[in-house]
Amino acid sequence: MNTVLIRRETPADIDAIRTVTEAAFGPRYAPDPAPEPGLVDQLRADTGWLPALSLVAEVDGEIVGHVVCTRGRVGDTPALGLGPLSVRPDHQRAGVGSALVHAVLGAADALGEPLVVLLGDPGYYRRFGFGPAQELGVLAPAAEWGIHFQVRPLTGYDPAVRGVFTYAEPFGRL
């Protein structure tokens, strides 16, 4: 694997991000289009968009991955929702996704964010310090998400923060 560069998204990256996201999620929905590329576009236009937390992975000058955290809330407390995380299939299982997650968590922590939630595979996200959200009193918007709804407390975490997590508005359109 060549060197992976993680950096902030720029306006020139939007088409490449859409292509990577479609390649990463498209096979799951075929023959229908994947909703994730449109979700990223909608998030970009939403008040919950945080430009400093939309990161791309570049290999040899090509964008091969993308991750984004957007503004959500636990009750009235600002928090972050991670996702989608997309890696082009020919670069999966090579550390690109891990590099993106580590980078976005570090950036969120540096910005003073208290916690990050996501809906995903516990076997994958455990390595980044995520665990079942309900153990910290952070409740999923949908109870059936169970152990797949996870939380990663950051340095600014306050254990008194409890309640239902609300994602940025475009997630509600899925």
Looking at residue 167, its pLDDT comes to: 97
CA-to-CA dists, residue 42 to 17, 46, 168, angstroms: 13, 6, 10
**Residues 124, 87 contacting (CB under 8 angstroms):** no
> Computed from CA positions of residues 141, 114, 44, 147, in that sequence, does the dihedral angle turn out positive or negative?
negative
Looking at residue 159, its pLDDT comes to: 96
- Residue in the block written with tokens 């008040």: 47
Looking at residue 1, its pLDDT comes to: 55
For the entire predicted model, the pTM comes to 0.95
Domain holding 25: CATH number? 3.40.630.30
Residue 20 structural domain? 4-173
Longest dimension (CA), the chain: 45
Split the chain (174 residues) into runs of 10 and give each run's mean pLDDT.
91 98 93 94 97 97 98 97 97 96 98 97 97 97 95 97 96 82
Looking at residue 55, its pLDDT comes to: 98
Q: What total of structural domains would you count in the chain?
A: 1
At how many degrees (to 10) do helices 14-29 and 36-44 cross?
150
Encode pLDDT of 77-95 as tens digits: 999 999 999 999 999 999 9
The number of beta carbons lying within 10 Å of the beta carbon of residue 80 is: 28
Beta strands 149-153; 49-59: pairing state: unpaired
Q: Which of 131, 127, 132, 129 is nearest to 146 (CA)?
A: 132
Looking at residue 172, its pLDDT comes to: 86
Please report which helix (H) or strand (E) contains residue 57, including its range: strand 49-59
